Chain A
Amino acid sequence: MENSMDYEVLDHLIIVHFTGEIDCSNAPVYRQALNDLFENTKEDIIFDFKNTSFIDSSGIGLVLGRYNQLKFDHRTLILTGLNQVAYRLFELTGLFQIMPYYESIDDIKEGII
């Protein structure tokens, strides 16, 4: 599976879909692309990991960095779709204490739109 990142706009949210794997070799590339996206938009953001087969600590660093960047602009970051192992590691890091997690995009739509 090719590693890639794309996004779509849904109502007042931008959903970023990560496909494939996130590790040290591509996290800096995503960081740059997301910086550009955030600078040119105002919406709240969803990170969708449903099609992400692997995430290590560089994914955690990427999420934390983007969270801080968005928070500065009073924007919200929501996470969804993590595999079980990644969920456990995100939980260990305390990420769900600072940003909401939903099982699926549908749950997000029901919950907040």
Chain B
Amino acid sequence: MNQMEVSFSATLDNENFARTTVGAFLTQLNPTIDEIIEFKTIVSEGVSNAIIHGYNNNAECKVVMKVEIEDRTVHLIIQDFGKGIENLEQVKTPFYTTAKDLEHAGMGITIIETLADSFQIESVKNIGTKLIITKRLKDNVG
């Protein structure tokens, strides 16, 4: 088992940092280019939601991200201590968004569900939101 954990300010300037960090940590598993893009997409969706919806872009707040590798299974946790989600079923509905005016498509959570092997949301109003994502990498050939 191998773990890493980072905490960073809730600003969209850190989107690229969050994606790249996870990508770099997973390099040791020798993933395919598509697998790396899939992980980066999951990170991007989770982190942007934490920053925009959880914290309303307040850069004084912190997003926490943990990655754990077990054989070729990757566990990813993205957590904020912000607004929280009241109706968990509703946010999983494709095209559901509370930010239509900002041209959000409402696809972020649907995308995470599609790309992950398993996906759970834990959230409490005004306490925060935790995404628990598991994704297995294909066996390394050659």
Set of chain B residues within 8 Å of A92, measured between Cβ atoms: 107, 110-111, 114
A64 to B97, CA, bound (A): 14
Contacts of A84 in B (CB 8 A): 34, 37
- Please provide the chain B residues from 87 to 109 with a CB less than 8 Å away from any CB of chain A in the complex: 94, 102-105, 107-108
Q: Does A102 contact B (CB under 8 A)?
A: no
Docked pose: A89 CA to B13 CA in angstroms = 23
The count of residues in chain A whose C-beta lies closer than 8 Å to any C-beta of chain B is 24
In the bound complex, what is the Cα–Cα distance between A71 and B114 (angstroms)? 29
* B:12-49 near A, CB below 8 Å: 12-13, 15-16, 19, 34, 37-38, 40-41, 44-45, 48
Partner of B45, one of A57, A65, A83: A57
Contact A25 B12 (CB under 8 A): yes
**What count of chain B residues pass the 8 Å CB interface test?**
26
Which chain A positions have C-beta within 8 A of B110? 92
Residues of B with C-beta under 8 A to A28: 102-103
CB < 8 Å: which of B12, B103, B105, B115 contacts A93? B105
A23 at the interface (CB under 8 A from B): yes
Contacts of B34 in A (CB 8 A): 84-85
Assess whether B103 is in contact with A85, with CB atoms less than 8 Å apart. no
- Taking a contact as CB atoms under 8 Å apart, the answer to whether B48 and A85 are in contact is no
A108 contacts B by Cβ under 8 Å: no
Tell me, in angstroms, the Cα distance from A58 to B34 when the chains sit together.
19
Distance in Å from the Cβ of B51 to the closest Cβ of chain A?
8
Chain A facing B: main interface SS: helix
A65 & B111 in contact (Cβ 8 Å cutoff)? no
Measured between alpha carbons, how far is A55 from B84 in the docked complex, in Å? 26
| Cβ–Cβ < 8 Å partners of A83 in chain B | 37
* CB of A77 to closest CB in B, whole Å: 15
Do B111 and A57 have beta carbons less than 8 Å apart?
yes
Q: Write out the residue numbers on chain A whose beta carbons fall within 8 Å of the beta carbon of B132.
A: none
B111 touching A25 by the CB < 8 A rule? no
Contact at A85–B44, with CB atoms within 8 Å?
Answer: no
Distance, CA A89 to CA B104, complexed state (A)? 15
Are A89 and B103 also in contact (CB < 8 A) when A23-B16, A54-B19 are? no
Q: With A23-B48, A24-B52 in contact, is A93–B13 under 8 Å at CB? A: no
User: Could you list 10 A-B pairs, sorted by A, with CB under 8 Å?
Assistant: A23-B44, A23-B48, A24-B12, A24-B52, A28-B102, A28-B103, A61-B105, A84-B37, A92-B110, A92-B114
